[in-house]
Structure formats: C-alpha cells, structure tokens
Amino acid sequence: MVFGRWGDSGKSWTSQHGTPIGADVIYYAGYEDKFYHLKTDFPVEEMKKAVDTTYQYYDDNYEKFSGLIFGFAPQGMVVVWKEYGVIRIELGRYQAEVITDDKELEKKLFRDWSMNREEVKARDFMPNASCAQWDMYRKRYTFRVVMQNENPNLRLFQYCFTNYNGEQNIIFMPPLPATSYDNRALPQIFEMDWETSGHERFRGNIFLNEKIIFEKFKNFKPEDKQEFEVKISKDNKKLELFLNNEPIEVDSVRIYKGSVMYKGSY
C-alpha cells in the first residue's frame, strides 16, 4: 500500500514516543510481489541533534522536528527523511531484505483485503522494477543560486527548494545577489517570494525538466561548483533560469500575485 508522494507521506506521528534511533519494518511491495524486512539503527547523535533542531519557516516561525517519513523504492531500497513541518531533510538510504518464507505474512496481509495476492500481482507487478532512478535522484552536487533583476526596488524574502530526492528546504531572507554554495540534490521546483512595491507582491515557481537537468549535471563532479541564476524582469512578468550562464529549458514557469506579508514588506 502506497501513501503520499516521494518524501511526503501525508501521515503524522505521536511525539511522546521520544527520540527515534532505529526502525523495524515489514512491508509488502506489490510491484515485486515480495515481502521485505527493514531492521536498522539510525545514528544516535544525529537523531539527538535532529529533535533539538528548528528551521525558520516564516518571520518568527520555526518548525520543530515532527517525525520521520519512509519512502519505499524497488529492490528493498528505503529512504528516510527527517520532517520539520513542510521542511524535509534526508536522514539516509537503507536496505531491506527479502523475506523468503512469507506464507504467514501473506495470510495476515490479505485476510481482510478484497483482492488476493495473485490478483494484486496481476495488477501491480513490474518485472523490471529497479531502484536506479531513486538512487539517481539522491545524487548531490555543489551549487548556489544567484538572483539577477532589473528592478532596484526588488526585495527577495525566500527561496524554497523542492528536490528530486524528496527533500524540501527553505532559505529565508536569502542574501542578495547570491546564496552560499551548498551540497544538495537537484531541484525539481524553485519557489520564491518577492516584492517591488507595496502593491507588487509575487510568488514565482520554476518547474525543472527532469531529463534536461540530470543530463546537464551528469558529467559534473559532486564537489565542482555550479551556479543557477534566476532573472526577474523589471515588470515582474518574466522569470528565467540559467545554469552557468547558459539558459536552461524548464517544464513551466508560473508567477502569481503574492499574499504573504513579511516583516520586511513594503
């Protein structure tokens, strides 16, 4: 059974369980017709730090640790993210093992289902299921974001990165013209909030093309510094993305009237 999107389960947890230091999970992958067992420890010091860490989300709002999200890819690949409200940071990749003697598990799982195992297999089975795509999403590169704009009145309030590896993070009040170089997975969506006057308030989204962006980065080393450049036209009607001074084709660009007020707003 699959819930949510990669990196976003839509589920919640009860915080009184304390600091999570491991996982013991049995699950069924219908597209492989296999039961898997994940039993792993999490790095204790990192988890202690995680539950005490907060991330700035808005002017005076800081998101606390709110849970763990598990993502199940083919071939027993499991990715775990730390969740801080809307912010998600990858904890790590883990490997589950196939359970070969699964008859009792089959009885328990399908006892209350309207479909039996063979029917689920006929519907969901993918003979060539591979985790290669999800491992590709996890590759990290070193890059920064540079803002170029034609309006000297522009005030930039945040960048929000939604990345292919399931992470989502916010740079609140990013420095202009450029952020610092950071090691990240490749972005799927750039979101930004800006203003140019008291009645000119905007939110922009740039939706990157998966095939194009991974092709561009495939020969870059993780430590090599790359630069994304965002250009906003003076009239706030055009939003462009460049990579290392070259225009990059994206799936779509959307600019909305902004509704969020910040302390630094006009």
Beta-sheet pairing, 225-232 with 140-149: parallel
209 falls within a domain: yes
| Residue 232 and residue 165 share a domain | yes
Per the domain annotation, does 12 fall within a domain?
A: no
Q: Which pLDDT belongs to residue 96? A: 98
Q: Which residues contact 216 (CB under 8 A, 6 or more apart)?
A: 243, 248
Q: Is residue 172 exposed (0-12), middle (13-18) or buried (19+ Cβ within 10 Å)?
A: middle
Q: Answer yes or no: do 177 and 122 share one domain.
A: no
Note whether residue 206 is domain-resident: yes
* Residue 77 and residue 54 share a domain: yes
The residue behind tokens 């013209």 is: 177
List residues bridging with 232 in a β-sheet.
Answer: 149, 239
> Is 156 within a domain?
yes
Say if 148 falls within a structural domain: yes
128 and 109 assigned to the same domain: yes
Residue at a domain's end among 110, 135, 160:
135
- Written as tens digits, the pLDDT of the chain (266 aa) is 444 566 665 554 555 567 999 999 999 999 999 999 999 999 999 999 999 999 998 899 999 999 999 999 999 999 999 999 999 999 999 999 999 999 999 999 999 999 999 999 999 999 999 999 999 999 999 999 999 988 999 999 999 999 999 999 999 999 999 999 999 999 999 999 999 999 999 999 999 999 999 999 999 999 999 999 999 999 999 999 999 999 999 999 999 999 899 999 99
CB 75 within 8 A of CB 36: no
Q: How many domains does the chain have?
A: 2
Q: In the beta sheet, which residues pair with residue 152?
A: none
> What CATH number did the domain enclosing 149 receive?
2.60.40
Do both 108 and 164 map to the same domain? no
Residue with tokens 């600019």: 255
pLDDT at 1: 43
56 with 121, same domain: the answer is yes
**Degrees, nearest 5: CA angle 210-211-212:** 95
- Of 135, 159, 181, the residue that ends a domain is 135
d(CA 44, CA 22): 9
Compute the CA torsion angle 36, 41, 42, 47 (nearest 10 deg).
Answer: 130
Domain assignment present for 202: yes
Specify whether 143 is located in the same domain as 182.
Answer: yes
pTM of the shown model: 0.90
With beta carbons less than 8 A apart as the criterion, state whether 189 and 163 touch.
no
Domain span holding position 106:
22-135
End of a domain among 135, 168, 195? 135
Query: What's the rounded Cα separation, in Å, for the pair 43 and 46?
Result: 5
Same domain membership, residue 174 and residue 110: no
Q: Is the dihedral of CA 12, 15, 21, 24 positive or negative?
A: negative
Which residues lie closer than 8 Å to 145 by C-beta, 6 or more apart?
A: 159, 174, 178, 179, 190, 227, 228, 229, 230
- One domain for residues 48 and 123: yes
Q: What is the pLDDT of residue 150?
A: 87
* 70 and 162 co-located in one domain: no
> How big is the CA angle at 21 (ends 20 and 24), to the nearest 5 degrees?
90
Q: Is the backbone of residue 148 left (phi > 0), alpha (psi -120 to 50) or beta? A: beta
